Structure 1
Amino acid sequence: MRYAIEELHFSVNNIVIFAWSIGGYAACWAAVHYQDIRGLILDAVFDDVLPLAQQQMPSFASKFVEKIIRYYLDLNNIQLLKLYNGPFYLIRRTYDEIMNFIPGKLETNRANEILFFILPYRYPFIYNNDEIFTLLKQYISAKKIQKKTLFDKYCSDIEDLQKQIDQYRLENPIGSYPCKFGENFSFDQRQRFAIYFVNQYLIDFDSQHCTSLPQDYFCLPNRCNVHNVSTGLFPYLENVSYREYNYAKDHYTPWHSSSLAENRFEKICREDPFGLILQTSWRIIRTYPDGFRQDSSNHNAVYAWNYGIQMAALNFQNEDDIMPLSYGKFLDNGGCGYILKPNYLINAYKTRYSPLDSQLNLDFPQVLTLTIISAQFLSRSNSTIFDIPDPYVLVSIHGLPCDHQTRKTKVIQNNGLDPIWNEKISFRIKYPKMALVYFSVYDYDAFTSDDKLAHFCLPLTMMQTGYRHIHLRTKNNDSTHSTIFVHVDIENDDENIFSTRL
C-alpha cells in the first residue's frame, strides 16, 4: 500500500486489494487500516487458520496447536473483516482441496464461515432468527441447480430488491457496520434479502486451490451495500474475447474491450495485423505480460502502441528499460494519461497504416540533431558507490521499427561531477509522432556490464529546439539533481509539429 500510494501516486480510493489464500490476512489488515480503498477481493481465503491447522494435526495436540496459533500465528480474518466497513467479495473455489474440510463437500468450505459471521454482523435485522440463518446455510451449501431454485423462489424481482437498498442508502447512508437495514421488514422480506446479499458477497469458481484465476473474476466489489455512492458513477467496459475483425464489427460495440496476453498479441500481429489495427480505431484493446514472466519483467509496450493498443499493462514494480518508455510516452498532454493517436492510426481504414511497412509515407520525416555538451552531478550507482563514475550517454529512438536507432558518446574517465563531451549525433525519423527519445547515462566498466546511472525519456513531439537541460531520473522514476546539457535542432520543426511541448 505504501508503495502504491507514495511511489506510484495512487489515491487510496482508487486502490483495489486482491488476495489469494493465506495472503487474505495481510489484505484484510491493510483494508482495516485503509478504509477508503475502492474494494477488497478475497480468493480462496479461510476464516481462521486454527481450524485448518487442527485438522492436519493429531487430536491430542489440539490444545497445544490452539495456544501456538493464537499466540504466534493468529490469522483470524473474520475479526479483521468486522473492522472493515468497505466493499468486498469472496471467490469460493468449489473443488478446493485445502479450504474444503471434506473434498467435494461445498458445505465444508471455510469461506462459508466468513459469510456466516459477516452477513449477520453487517445486517443484524436481516439475519435475526434461526429460520433465516438456516436458510442462509442451506443456500450457501447448495449445489448449482438447488441454488438457482432457491434464488428464483426468493429473489424473482431483483430490481425491486435493489431499489429498496438504494432508497435506504439515500435516506440512511451506511458509514459503518452493523447497520439498521431491514429493521421494519416482514419475515418474507428478510428471507428475500438473506439470499440476495449472499450474491453480493460471494462468487463461485469451479476449480481447485492453485488454479489460475480467469480475468473475468477481477471486477469491482459491489458498493450498493456500503456507501452512499450512485452506481451510475462507475461506468465500465464489458470485456469480451478477441475475435477477427469481420466478426467484431458485426457483434461488438465501442464499449466492448478485449485483453490479450503478449503471446496471443504477437500471434495476431503475425496473422492479422491490419484487422487488429482496425479494431483499435473504434474499441479498446489491452495487452498484458504473459504469466511465464515470474520475475515480473515486461514486454515491450512500444510494440503494442505501434499497433494502436490503447492499454499496455506493465509490471510497475520492475525497474527495467520498459517503464521509462511508458513514463515518457504519457508525459504529453500534461501527463494526464490520455494522448491522441496520430491521424494515420485513427483513420487506419483509409491510410492502410502498417508499422512494418517502411515504404508508406504517412508522417512528416524529421531530422533530430543533438549536441551532447556535458552532464552535471551524476550520482554513483549502487554497485560502485565508492568509485567515481566513467560516464557516457546513450541516446535511442523508440517507435516504429524503421525508426529504431541508437547512438552513444565516448567515455569520460573518472568524472561524475561535470563530464564534457561536445559530441553531435543525428537521427532521421520517419514517424516523429510515434517516436520516443530515450536518454540514458551509463557508468562504463571494463570487466562487468555497465551500470545505468540515470535516464529520461520523452516524445519527440515535446522536444524544443535550442540549448536545454535534460533533468534525469532514477530507475524507479524518482527525480534527481543530475542533468545533461544539450543543444537540440529539429529540421522542419515549426511546420510539422503540432503537439504540446515542454
Structure 2
Amino acid sequence: MDVVVQFAIHRLGFQPQDIVIYAWSIGGFTATWAAMSYPDISAVILDASFDDLVPLALKVMPDSWRALVTRTVRQHLNLNNAEQLCRFQGPVLLVRRTKDEIITTTVPEDIMSNRGNDLLLKLLQFRYPRVMTEEGLRAVRQWLEASSQLEEASIYSRWEVDEDWCVSVLRSYQAEHGPDFPWSVGEDMSVDGRRQLALFLARKHLHNFEATHCTPLPAQHFQMPWCL
C-alpha cells in the first residue's frame, strides 16, 4: 500500500489532500494503515470491513483452539483496523452490508454480529468519548439493530434528532478547540443532547447497503464521507 500511495504522489502528481482511499473487506487493513501513515490524505471509505480479525477467526475455528487462534492472529496476522483508523484524523465513511455473510460472527441475518458495527463504535468512542457514554452507545446500538430504512428513520425520529442543532454544537466546539480528535464535546451536556449527537454522528459515519459481502457496490453508493 505504501508503494501505491507513493506512486500516486510522486509519479501521478497527486497531493495527499487530493487522495481518497476506498477499500473493501480485508482491504480495510491496508487502507487504515495508509490513512494512519499518510495523515494528510483527504478521506477514507471502508466497505464491508471490520474492526479486528480475532472475532472472525474464532468464528471458523474450534472453540477449544480459542487461546491458540487469538495468540496466532495477534502475533502474526494482527489486522487491527479499528486501532489504525483511530489514528487518522480525517473524514471517514463506513459502508455496512446488511446481508454480509463474511464479517458477521453468527449468521448474515444477525445484523448486530456484523463487525462493521464494532468498527463504527470504536471510531466514535475514540473521537467523541463524552458523547458515546452509556446513553449514546445504547441509542446507536438500537439504530444499528434496525432491519430496514423505515425502522432506522423511526429510531432517529423517536429521539427527535435536531440535525441543525448537532451541526451547530460541533462547529462551535471545533472553532473553539480545533479539529484534532478526541473531542470533549458533550462533557456538560444533557442525556438527551448526547443521545442526539450520538445518533447524528453514527448516521453520518455509516451507510447501509442491502447486499451480501461480494455484491458489487453500485455507483450511487460511492459517496464522499461527511465533513463538518
Same fold (TM over 0.5): yes
Aligned to 2:197: 193
CA distance in 2, matches of 1:90, 1:155: 24
Q: Distance in 2 between matches of 1:220 and 1:103?
A: 27
Deviation of the 1:156 alpha carbon: 4.3
Give 1:122's aligned residue: 127
Which amino acid counterpart does residue 49 of structure 1 have in structure 2? L
Superposed CA offset, 1:152-190 (max 9, x none): 122443222222222222222212x21111222111111
- Kept in 2: contact 1:124–1:180 (CA 8 A): yes
Letter in 1 for 2:221: Y
State the AA in 2 paired with 1:81. Answer: L
Instruction: State the shift of 1:94 in Å.
Output: 0.4
2:86·2:126 contact (CA, 8 Å) conserved in 1?
A: yes
Aligned CA distance change for structure 1 residues 210 and 143 (closer, same or farther; 3 Å): same
Match of 1:68?
72
Partner of 1:26: 30
CA RMSD in angstroms, aligned pairs only: 1.3
Hey, what does 1:381 align to over in structure 2? none
Of residues 210, 216, 221, the one that matches 1:206 is: 210
Relative contact order (alpha carbons < 8 A, sep ≥ 6): 1 or 2 greater? 2
Give the match's secondary structure for 1:169: helix
Contact 1:93–1:209 (8 Å) recurs in 2: yes
CA deviation string 1:347-402 (max 9, x = no partner): xxxxxxxxxxxxxxxxxxxxxxxxxxxxxxxxxxxxxxxxxxxxxxxxxxxxxxxx
Equivalent runs, 1:214-293 vs 2, <5 Å: 214-224=218-228
Q: Which residue of the other structure, out of 149, 162, 165, is the alignment partner of 1:160?
A: 165
- The number of residue pairs the alignment matches comes to 222
**Any idea what the Cα deviations from partners look like across 1:299-335, whole Å, max 9, x if unmatched?**
xxxxxxxxxxxxxxxxxxxxxxxxxxxxxxxxxxxxx
Overall identity of the aligned pairs, in %: 36
1:401 maps to none
Instruction: Measure, in 1, the Cα distance between the counterparts of 2:91 and 2:112.
Output: 24
Structure 2 residue ranges without an equivalent (≥5):
none
In 1, the alpha carbon distance for the partners of 2:94 and 2:163 equals 21
Correspondence for 1:90: 94
1:198-223 CA distance string (max 9 Å, x none): 01110000011111111112121112
Of the three residues 37, 41, 44, the one matched with 1:37 is 41
Seen in structure 2, the aligned counterparts of structure 1 residues 147 and 39 have a Cα distance that, compared at 3 Å, is: same
User: Contact conserved, 1:95 with 1:103, CA < 8 A, in 2?
Assistant: yes
Partner of 2:135: 131
- 1:48–1:77 contact (8 Å) kept in structure 2: yes
| Residue-by-residue CA offset, 1:404-424 (whole Å, 9 max, x unaligned) | xxxxxxxxxxxxxxxxxxxxx
SS at match of 1:17: strand
The whole-number CA distance in structure 2 between the counterparts of 1:152 and 1:5 is 44
Within the candidate set 94, 99, 111, 1:106 is matched to 111
Asked if structure 2 preserves the Cα contact closer than 8 Å seen for 1:81 and 1:118, the reply is yes
Q: Does residue 82 of structure 2 align to residue 81 of structure 1?
A: no
- Residue 14 of structure 2 is matched in structure 1 by 10
State how far apart, in whole Å, the 2-side matches of 1:74 and 1:156 are: 38
- In the other structure, the counterpart of 1:170 is 175
Q: 1:157 & 1:190 partners in 2: Cα distance?
A: 12
The AA in structure 1 aligned to 2:153 is K
Q: Output aligned runs, 1:285-434, within 5 Å.
A: none
SS of aligned partner of 1:92 = strand
Distance verdict in 2 for CA 1:162–1:213, change over 3 Å = same
**Bigger-Rg structure (1/2):** 1
| Counterpart residue identity of residue 20, structure 2 | V
* Residue 62 of structure 2: aligned partner: 58
Contact between 2:162 and 2:196, CA under 8 Å: does it hold in 1?
no
How far did residue 26 of structure 1 move?
0.3
Rounded to whole Å, the distance in 1 between the matches of 2:73 and 2:189 is 41
* Matched residue type, 1:17: I
Alignment check: 8 A CA contact 1:21 1:45 kept: yes
Q: Could you tell me how far 1:79 is from its partner in structure 2?
A: 1.0
Greater fraction strand: 1
CA distance in 2 between counterparts of 1:119 and 1:172 reads 18
Give, in whole Å, the separation in 2 of the partners of 1:165 and 1:131: 19
TM-score, length of structure 1 as denominator length:
0.43
Contact 2:99 2:210 in 1 (8 A): yes
1:149 match: 154
Residue ranges of structure 1 left out of the alignment (5+ in a row): 225-502
Q: Deviations over 1:102-153 (max 9, x none)?
A: 221111111001122221211111112x233222211111222322111112
Equivalent position amino acid for 2:151 in 1: Q
